[in-house]
Amino acid sequence: MNTYKGYYKPKNPSKYLGDPTNIVYRSSWELQCMVYFDKNDNILKWGSEEVVIPYRSPLDNRVHRYFVDFVIKVRTADNTTETHLIEVKPFRQTNPPEIRKRKTKKYLNEVTTYLVNEAKWKAATEFCKDRRWKFQIITENELGR
């Protein structure tokens, strides 16, 4: 599946939180999640980049906006509902890069990406805690890739 960006047309548009005619995926992993959320009967509602969380960037110390990949409302095994915010990322971006002797442009980009992601995820965790929601990072490992 070599699809990296496009529009998703839901089979169950009534489940979508937001405009179901304007659902953009930015990776094949996001597309895989969208199909799962759309088809799964235990996902009652879902949205893509519908929740925006302010966070302070460690790079410039300014407040930026974090558009979380997904928000889902889930029916649990005990028939209650939970709301989850889900971020889809490559596993390598969920851990700090290994320290290297040579500070190449690639290495510096990995470090800044990780630091910004870490700030976003901290803000998302607090945002969810305040609302009794759950924040989850999904990687290719959870997607079975």
Cβ distance 128 to 134 under 8 Å?
Answer: yes
Q: Which two tokens stand for residue 102?
A: 């040579």
* Rounded-to-5 percentages of helix, strand, coil across the chain: 30, 30, 40
The neighbour count for residue 124, using CB atoms within 10 Å, is 22
Is residue 30 annotated as part of the catalytic site, yes or no? yes
Could you tell me the two tokens for 92? 């390598």
Question: CB count, 10 Å around CB of 72?
Answer: 23
Strands 134-138 and 81-88: parallel
Which is the catalytic residue, given 49, 50, 89, 134?
A: 89
State the catalytic residue, choosing from 38, 69, 73, 87: 69
Q: Is 140 a catalytic residue?
A: no
Known catalytic residue: 69? yes
Catalytic-role residue among 30, 73, 87, 120: 30
Cα separation of 51 and 70, whole Å? 8
Positions marked catalytic: 30, 69, 89
